[in-house]
Structure 1
Amino acid sequence: MIKRRDWLKRTGLAGLGTVAGGALVGCGDDDGMTTPDAGEGVDGSVGTDAGVDGGPMLPPLPTSGFIHGVASGDPLPDAVILWTRITPEDGGLASADVDYTVATDPELTDVVASGTFTTDADRDWTVKVDVTGLDPATTYYYGFTGLGFTSPVGRTKTAPSGSVDRLRFVVMSCASYAHGWFHVYRHVSEIQDLDACVHLGDYIYEYGSGDYGGMREYDPPDEIVSLSDYRRRYAHYRLDPDLQAVHQQHPFICVWDDHETTNDSWSGGAENHDASEGDWEERKSVALQANLEWLPTRETEDGHLWRKLAYGDLVDLIMLDTRIWGRDEQVSRSELADADPARTILGDDQEAWLEEQLEASTATWKVLGQQVMVGQWDAESEEGEFSPNNTDQWDGYPGARERLFAAIADVENPVVLTGDIHSHWAQELTSDPHDPEAYDPETSEGSVGVEFVTSAVSSPGAPGVIGMALEEAALEANPHLRYVNFRQRGWIVLDLTAARVQADYYVVDGVLADEGEPSHAISYACAAGERRLEEASGPTEDRGDAPAFAPDPPARRLPVSAR
């Protein structure tokens, strides 16, 4: 038997205990509540590996060579980042030369670029190459060789230039290894016609084994704080075959959220950091170093992650860092009314840069990829007053949000993409959804843009009747909100044309080893020139002319004991 407070932390419901109009109010610290059993997804041991259909035992994983797969990212019309890691057999090796090949065919015979990258322990044996001289809107295949090993073949795609008819992205976030299996990554790896995957953070989690989720154990087993720790955690994640599969097939565009450092971080500290864990600036620095070593992100001189990627005349994808770069410390709900309106979630320099990007953009759609929810998530009191549930998101920075709203109100077709909250949302953006003079939910008058929020890959939401109660309360108290799903994990397919943007929300039936069946939940669209969400009749169709997948995706490895 455990205390309810501890159970809430382990299941991911910590912080939801008093929200949504009292849906969870009245829970004491020790009310005799027992821990759900392993079949309900809180604890459970992992067994030996078997094939996805419970067939023959898979061979042991290799311990040297290109064991962490391949990846690509940050596509430009003429360039893309390629990534891998070589694990030497000889622990005393000083350096390794890794050759790369880029071709237009999966067999890597029609070669368009090649070269050699020298890596060593100082960069954790990772390889990152910015391959240039490529053609726009083109699918390429690539591979690596080194130390007598040959990597899997990867598949990537450059961004288009000029006139663009249609784009398709997947939007994902929040992959807690300890809470279950990465079925979402595997399903996304099997979508053939994507332009890129947009990952909005919490790519890794910092906790030790059993601290937050207990379905799978971490390496290292304790909370990560040092450079070695962060590197080991990325290496552990990148051994997962479902994560390897999605990186093999699609380029990634990534930003980080808090768990790439530690929970509820800001520029000067974090909720989950104290003096016993060392200097915060050092921890932040090594976390960023490992992140850039292990992800296919194009690097900047000062290490900032905010950047713009242009997709022809259709989309400017503006990736923001609302978590670390310039964020002021969070305040509590009781402190919010007296907080300085000049407080920032972006930092003055990033805020100014964003305004410049929006003003200069000539793309049809200005798409902001960022971490925490922009739209209000308010709770209504018995007296009919509204207050925010979560001051870690933009609700806790109302002055910064007003400046953002002023900026996007002046441009055509702004769209916000969000992760972090382990749940699907679709909402219109407005300064005050409760003021009928400022916003009309029937006509959308007063909306300055739309926001699509993706659920998690595996990180927990709110299950069953708890989730249903939270959804009902959120919809009742927030008239700008069109859809919310706390109960299921999933992803968004974002489909854009000159006429409209549509978000197709997909879910899986669970993240246990024997779950993961996907389905379409709902779709919302916004017409160009409008700032209004309408439910679509169904999901968008795949493009039928997508190039071939990269060959030989990694076999799934699922525990026999969970079957």
Structure 2
Amino acid sequence: MVVDFVYRPIITPAKDLFVFRPGYVSHDSARLHIRYPDGGNLELRYKELVPKASLLYQNTGSDDTSIDFANNSPWESAGEFGPPTEDTDYTSTTALLNLQPATRYLVELHSRESTLHTQTVLLGSVEFKTSPLPHQPARLRFGTGSCIKPNFPYRPSWTHDIYGFASMLDHSDSLDLIMFMGDFIYADVPLYFGPETEDYRRLYRQVYAAQSSRRLLRKVPMLHVYDDHEIKNNWHDQDQPPMGSAMTAYNEYNGLPNPPPAVSGASYYNFTYGNIAFYAWDTRRYRTRWETPNTDSGEATTSDDEHTMLGQEQKQHFIQWLHDVNHTAAVKFVISSVPVTAGWSNFDSSQDTWRGYPTERAEILNLTQHIPNLFYLSGDRHEMAAVELPSGNIEFSTSPVSQFTFPFVGKFKKDIGGEHTIHYRRPGHVKYGILDVDTESDPDTPRITYSLYTTDIHHGKRPAWVYEAKGAHWR
């Protein structure tokens, strides 16, 4: 059992892995992530999926309103392109352009052995729906969570699975996207195999090879931020090795399919879904060492402006984003791989989360307290907490999607430093959130509902806890 769990990435490195999934989908484009090691030119074909009810039929007595996948619209070709190469571990990210907003598409990936062959081979297909036009009222349902390890808890099986993704599949038909907030791989748990790019690539292949990964990610676009275990535990050494190798593998598998970065070469980004705005931080690359917080309050013992988690360039870009979306987006989400709350207070979290950077944390909360309907989403701690922060903003921190918990380690301090704990849950090897955002029903006062799912309660079929936030007038 131990040998299988620890050395599975070495025993079965998934060199022949095929991946075809949607990444970021905007109102007029879609990024598609491909891994194809078999050679031959590739071609993308796509079509709109129009509900039958919107078409004209001779048989007007039919009440069938399902989607006709085969015949309701013509196929279009996005053209052929060369296969991915070994330099990128046979991965590539391509884009479909000039799509229609709020429209569902079916996309097929075909291969052609050579230009002499007229026939192509269907490799796989994905579905997605483009987002509404920017600034348009919308309804959005998306999943959140972090931290996965294939086959945890361990089950003897030749094919390892990710049980949190298997649970998410029960809700996949209604999800518009999944926001994955880091620790997609564990490069150093239970054993660090090494600093080479292939050591990291092998772990990504293991995750994508899981059956539930393949099924879930062909149906639901997944966006990413990275955290420490994509590199090494509690990473704060900026661009020192093995950061370069780790980020090469991360970008090949998760980074490039994300929305375009805010700054060329960066990993932080922002995007919109109708009039719902997102900003995803990079909390690892630019951080310095932590401050020493006061154990009781979570505030810094001495203020030190040199300590930073975001770095000056990212922070200034974020501040400008706050200004831009303040009264142009009905709801705003800030994505952080580590919690903003100071409630997690053991030695590790006192350094690694925003609790370890109280000066910069206070600076940011002082800004976001003036932004209506702004929420923080985070993961990392293998526990769940919904917290009203001192700024009045609410944070939903949810993890692990599929990993171990810490039943006897550390303590979550409720109502610390001006915070108010709304809900806290430690048990559960599978925990994730689903958020429902409605800016259509009442365009002036949006509705935001968070639902916690865990396989410990209702087998993950129904929420274990639900919270409806009070939307504020935002214009």
- For Structure 1 versus Structure 2, the TM-score category normalised by the shorter chain is 0.7 to 0.9
Quote the offset at 1:298 in angstroms. 4.1
Does the alignment pair 1:155 with 2:127? yes
Q: What is the aligned counterpart of 2:168 among 188, 191, 197? A: 188
Partner of 1:244: 214
Return the letter of the residue paired with 1:294: Y
Conserved in 2, the CA contact under 8 Å of 1:206 and 1:259?
yes
In terms of mean alpha carbon deviation, does 77-86 or 522-531 score higher?
522-531
Shift of 1:371: 0.8
The answer on whether the counterparts of 2:21 and 2:126 sit within 8 Å (CA) in structure 1 is yes
Offset of residue 418 of structure 1: 0.6
SS, match of residue 153 in structure 1? strand
Match in the other structure for 1:390: 350
Q: Aligned partners of 1:62, 1:428: CA distance in 2, in Å? A: 43
Partner Cα distance (2:394, 2:87) in 1: 44
Q: 1:207 aligns with which of 168, 175, 188?
A: 188
Other structure's SS at 2:240 match = helix
Q: Spell out, residue by residue over 1:399-431, the C-alpha distance to the aligned partner (whole angstroms, 9 max, x if none).
A: 11111112212221111111111111101010x
1:169 to 138, 142, 165: 142
Alignment map for 1:311-326 (pairs within 5 Å): 311-313=273-275, 315-324=276-285, 326=286
The 5 Å alignment of 1:119-130 reads 119-130=84-95
Query: 1:332-371 maps to which residues of 2 (within 5 A)?
Result: 337-338=301-302, 340-361=304-325, 362-371=328-337
Alpha-carbon spacing, 1:230–1:337, altered in 2? closer, same or farther (3 Å): same
Q: Deviations over 1:465-495 (max 9, x none)?
A: x48x946x64699851111111112111111
Asked if the contact 2:303/2:359 (under 8 Å) is kept, the reply is no
8 Å CA contact 1:379–1:474 kept in 2: the answer is no
Gaps of 5+ in 2: 6-11, 50-68, 114-120, 154-160, 440-445
Shift in alpha-carbon separation, 1:371–1:223, aligned structure 2, 3 A: same
How big is each residue's C-alpha offset from its partner over 1:137-158, in whole Å with a ceiling of 9 and x where there is no partner? 2221212122555322211222
Separation (CA, whole Å) in 2 of partners of 1:476 and 1:369: 22
Alignment correspondent of 1:545: none
Q: 1:333 to 1:409 in 2, by over 3 A?
A: closer
**Secondary structure at 2:366's aligned position in 1?**
helix
Alpha-carbon separation, structure 2, partners of 1:183 and 1:145: 30
Distance, in Å, in 2 between the alignment partners of 1:178 and 1:139 is: 33
Report the 3-state secondary structure (helix = DSSP H, G, I; strand = E; otherwise coil) of the residue aligned with 1:249: coil
Counterpart residue number, 1:86: 36
**Structure 2 CA distance for partners of 1:501 and 1:224, relative to 1, 3 Å:** farther
- Confirm or deny that 1:306 pairs with 2:286: no
Find the aligned partners of 1:113 and 1:310 in 2 and give their Cα distance.
27
Q: Distance in 2 between matches of 1:160 and 1:141?
A: 17
Aligned equivalent of 2:251, options 267, 288, 292: 292
> Structure 2 counterpart of 1:500, which letter?
R
Structure 1: runs of 5 or more not aligned = 1-37, 47-60, 89-94, 212-221, 269-279, 381-386, 431-446, 532-563
- Answer whether contact 1:170 1:494 (CA < 8 A) is retained: yes
Q: Would you say the 8 A contact 1:342–1:399 is kept in 2?
A: no
* Residue number in structure 2 paired with 1:25: none
Paired residue type of 2:179:
V
Q: CA deviation at 1:111?
A: 2.2
> CA contact under 8 A between 2:177 and 2:220: conserved in structure 1?
yes
Determine if contact 1:266/1:329 at 8 Å carries over to the other structure.
yes
Q: Quickly say closer, same or farther: Cα 1:107–1:120, change in 2 above 3 A.
A: farther
CA distance in 2 between partners of 1:265 and 1:64 (Å): 28
Equivalent in 56, 68, 78 of residue 114 of structure 1: 78
Give the one of 461, 466, 471 matched to 1:523: 466
In structure 1, how many angstroms separate the alpha carbons of the residues matched to 2:233 and 2:345? 23
One-letter amino acid of the structure 2 residue matched with residue 193 of structure 1:
S
CA contact (8 A) 2:281 2:334 kept: yes
- Percent identity over paired residues: 23
Q: 1:179 aligns with which of 137, 143, 152?
A: 152
Distance 2:370 2:416 in 1: 30
Q: So what's the TM-score if we normalise by structure 1?
A: 0.67
Separation in 2, partners of 1:177, 1:252: 17
Q: Give distance in 2, aligned partners of 1:96 and 1:224.
A: 32
SS in structure 1 opposite 2:33? strand
Counterpart Cα distance in 2 of 1:262 and 1:388: 14
Distance 1:293 1:194, change over 3 A: same
Provide the C-alpha distance between the structure 1 equivalents of 2:330 and 2:102, rounded to a whole number of angstroms: 18
| CA-CA distance at 1:126 after TM superposition | 1.1
1:340 maps to a residue whose letter is: D
* Number of aligned positions between the proteins: 415
Indicate if the aligned counterparts of 1:500 and 1:528 stay in contact, CA closer than 8 A. Answer: yes
- Once the two structures are TM-superposed, the CA of residue 517 in structure 1 deviates from its matched residue by 5.2
2:437 alignment partner in structure 1: 496
Q: Report if the CA contact (8 A) 2:27-2:99 is conserved.
A: yes
CA distance in 1, matches of 2:14, 2:249: 20
1:487-518 deviation per Cα after TM superposition (whole angstroms, max 9, x unaligned): 112111111123321110110139xxxx9654
CA shift for structure 1 position 187: 2.5
**Corresponding residue for 2:242?**
283
Q: Contact 1:63–1:87 at 8 Å: present in 2 too?
A: no
User: Are residues 401 and 230 of structure 1, via their aligned partners in 2, closer, same or farther at CA, if it must alter by over 3 Å?
Assistant: same
1:446-525 mapped onto 2 (5 Å cutoff)? 447-463=391-407, 466=408, 470=411, 474=414, 480-488=420-428, 489-498=430-439, 499-509=446-456, 518-525=461-468
Distance 2:435 2:459 in 1: 21
Kindly indicate whether the alpha-carbon contact (under 8 Å) linking 1:169 and 1:493 is maintained by their aligned counterparts in 2: yes
2:66 alignment partner in structure 1: none
TM-score (norm 2): 0.79
Equivalent residues of 2:196, 2:245 under 8 A apart: yes
Change (3 A) 1:378 1:167: closer
> Which of 410, 414, 417 lines up with 2:377 in the alignment?
417
Question: Which residue of structure 2 aligns with residue 71 of structure 1?
Answer: 21
Residue 372 in structure 1 maps to residue 316 in structure 2: no
Secondary structure at the aligned position of 1:127 is classed as strand
Map of 1:136 onto structure 2: 101
Per-residue CA deviations over 1:411-468 (Å, capped at 9, x if unaligned) read 21111111111111101010xxxxxxxxxxxxxxxx43111111211122234xx48x
Q: Note closer, same or farther for the CA distance 1:338–1:388 as it changes in structure 2 (3 Å cut).
A: farther
Secondary structure class of the residue paired with 1:390: helix
- The code of the aligned residue for 2:438 comes to T
**Distance of 1:497 and 1:247 partners within structure 2:** 24
Distance 1:253 1:285, change over 3 A: same
